[in-house]
């Protein structure tokens, strides 16, 4: 179909939101809309919002107001707001931002088609528990090179004190194993080499399925990794409970599952973990970390922590610092606590002043930077396999890619010199320099040819993505 209309997308927040944005991109393309990188050229602007923490909500509202200006000074005829923020605050947003023409919730991605067809109501926010992505849904990829996210479940059944995700996304709904594998087969046929499995609580995948359809996460990961053409499979958002030995074995020894664990731990002090309603104490976390280090050779361990949660004492914060010194995680994200309406922690006593939370955030990041630099410089002189993503965003004449220990968007890059390479190629690289998060490497040999990428009609698009911590990336 020849595109006769234009649409511009902005995706805010986490990779799960990015998959939703890609589904809406697919819906728009199916409706005959061409995606444009400049909002001033678009007849329709779609913003997929994040409502996870205060900074993300502010980013979402600021972006909506920024894009609303294009209704006066650009081609924009319709402004559409979708995602978690509109799911959680639909009436308030509708009253305060009249420039928005349509609202979609966190499970209403396919209803963008109704809006583009014309005549749709302004408020189309539905029940967040009514949808889970399927392999049959239209989707246009926005991740660079040969990488893609695959969402294996929606929603969450946890009751963490600081989190309102179950209110925004509903209870957990796992996809069937066969449907996940079918989507990965489609992605592999389109040239994807790396699959990143994501959900809100990945370790709980399948528990909500009928017994006849239930299988293990280890089996799902193995089946995905066995799809012809897939070279890397990465698993995100593992909850720190007792991990299945079969899953550890798959991560440790399957040749196409990267030795990378993403497990948000949130804190290390027993009292803080109880306040956070995490269901375990610091001793279990140490046992889990030790077990994974012992069982998975050359492991890259990514985690996340919250500082400034109500009740956090200086002693508990120092216990967290000591835990990080002991564990020496390769990757750490640190978030300042954000009080969310409706969360259990919002009504807790012992609020931590902002200045103290900020000081703790700086101290933790400074501590982790030293560890990260030690880990990065330890790679100098090693040969690594790198997935080539394309031209660097920062250096016009430099290529960039990622090694298996670098997840998309969040873990840094490998800048490549000494030869030519194409996006989607897997290349051997000699690491020659290192910073805290990025590496510089020299291309070795000709490498394995890239697999054919999608035809132009199904090609990737450049999508403006703003992550939860406020960093912006432009992918293509």
Question: Residue ranges for the binding site?
Answer: 14, 50, 84, 156, 160, 163
How, if at all, do strands 5-12 and 463-466 pair?
parallel
Q: Which of 350, 353, 300, 285 is nearest to 330 (CA)?
A: 300
Q: Residues 6 or more apart from 230 whose CB is under 8 A from it?
A: 184, 188, 192, 193, 194, 195, 224, 256
* Secondary structure element (H or E) that encloses residue 225, with its range: helix 217-225
* Secondary structure element (H or E) that encloses residue 377, with its range: helix 354-377
By CB atoms closer than 10 A (0-12, 13-18, 19+), residue 193 is buried
Q: What is residue 56's three-state secondary structure? A: helix
Integer Cα distance of 386 and 365 in angstroms? 27
* Secondary structure element (H or E) that encloses residue 336, with its range: strand 331-336
Axis crossing angle, helix 314-327 with helix 354-377, rounded to the nearest 10? 10
- Range 252-257, long-range pairs (CB < 8 A, 24+ positions): 252/295, 252/296, 252/297, 254/221, 254/222, 254/225, 256/225, 256/226, 256/230, 256/231, 256/232, 257/221, 257/222, 257/225, 257/232, 257/233
Tokens of 375: 């880990």
Residues 368, 324 contacting (CB under 8 angstroms): yes
Binding site residue list for [4Fe-4S] cluster = 14, 50, 84, 156, 160, 163
Axis crossing angle, helix 217-225 with helix 177-189, rounded to the nearest 10? 20
Q: Residues 6 or more apart from 198 whose CB is under 8 A from it?
A: 15, 16, 19, 149, 150, 151, 152, 236, 237
Give, in degrees to the nearest 5, the angle at Cα 411 between 409 and 413: 80
Residues 292, 299 contacting (CB under 8 angstroms): yes
Integer Cα distance of 307 and 368 in angstroms? 14
């Amino acid at each position: 179909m020849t595109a006769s209309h234009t649409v511009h997308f902005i995706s805010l927040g986490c990779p799960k939101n990015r998959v939703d944005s890609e589904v809406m991109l697919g819906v728009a393309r199916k409706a005959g809309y061409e995606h444009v990188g400049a909002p001033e050229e678009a007849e329709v602007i779609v913003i997929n919002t994040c409502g996870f923490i205060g900074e993300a909500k502010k980013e979402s509202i600021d972006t909506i107001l920024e894009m609303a200006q294009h209704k006066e000074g650009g081609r924009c005829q319709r402004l559409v707001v979708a995602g978690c923020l509109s799911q959680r605050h639909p009436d308030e947003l509708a009253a305060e931002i009249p420039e928005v023409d349509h609202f979609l919730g966190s499970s209403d991605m396919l209803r963008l088609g109704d809006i583009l067809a014309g005549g749709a109501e302004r408020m189309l926010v539905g029940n967040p528990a009514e949808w889970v992505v399927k392999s049959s849904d239209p989707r246009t990829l926005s991740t660079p090179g040969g990488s893609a996210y695959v969402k294996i479940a929606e929603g969450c059944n946890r009751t963490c004190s600081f989190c309102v995700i179950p209110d925004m996304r509903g209870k957990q709904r796992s996809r069937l194993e066969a449907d996940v594998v079918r989507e990965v087969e489609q992605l592999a046929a389109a040239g994807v080499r790396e699959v990143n499995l994501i959900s809100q609580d990945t370790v709980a995948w399948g528990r909500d399925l009928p017994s006849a359809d239930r299988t293990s996460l280890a089996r799902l990961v193995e089946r995905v990794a066995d799809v012809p053409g897939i070279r890397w499979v990465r698993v995100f958002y593992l909850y720190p409970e007792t991990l299945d030995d079969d899953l550890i074995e798959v991560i440790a020894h399957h040749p196409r599952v990267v030795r990378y664990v993403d497990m948000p731990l949130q804190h290390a002090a027993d009292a803080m973990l109880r306040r956070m309603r995490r269901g375990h104490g610091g001793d279990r976390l140490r046992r889990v970390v030790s077990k994974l280090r012992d069982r998975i050779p050359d492991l890259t361990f990514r985690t996340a922590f919250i500082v400034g949660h109500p009740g956090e004492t200086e002693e508990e914060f120092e216990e967290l610092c000591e835990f990080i010194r002991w564990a020496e995680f390769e990757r750490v994200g640190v978030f300042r606590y954000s009080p969310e309406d409706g969360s259990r922690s919002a009504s807790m006593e012992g609020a931590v002043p902002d200045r103290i939370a900020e000081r703790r955030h700086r101290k933790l990041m400074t501590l982790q930077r030293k560890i990260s630099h030690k880990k990065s410089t330890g790679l100098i002189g090693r040969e690594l396999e790198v997935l080539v993503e394309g031209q660097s965003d920062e250096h016009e004449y430099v290529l960039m890619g990622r090694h298996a220990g670098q997840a998309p968007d969040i873990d840094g890059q490998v800048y490549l010199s000494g030869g030519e390479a194409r996006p989607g190629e897997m290349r051997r690289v000699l690491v020659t320099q290192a910073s805290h998060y990025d590496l510089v490497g020299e291309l070795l040999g000709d490498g394995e040819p890239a697999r054919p990428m999608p035809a132009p009609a199904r090609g990737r698009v450049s999508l403006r993505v703003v992550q939860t911590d406020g960093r912006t990336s432009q992918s293509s």
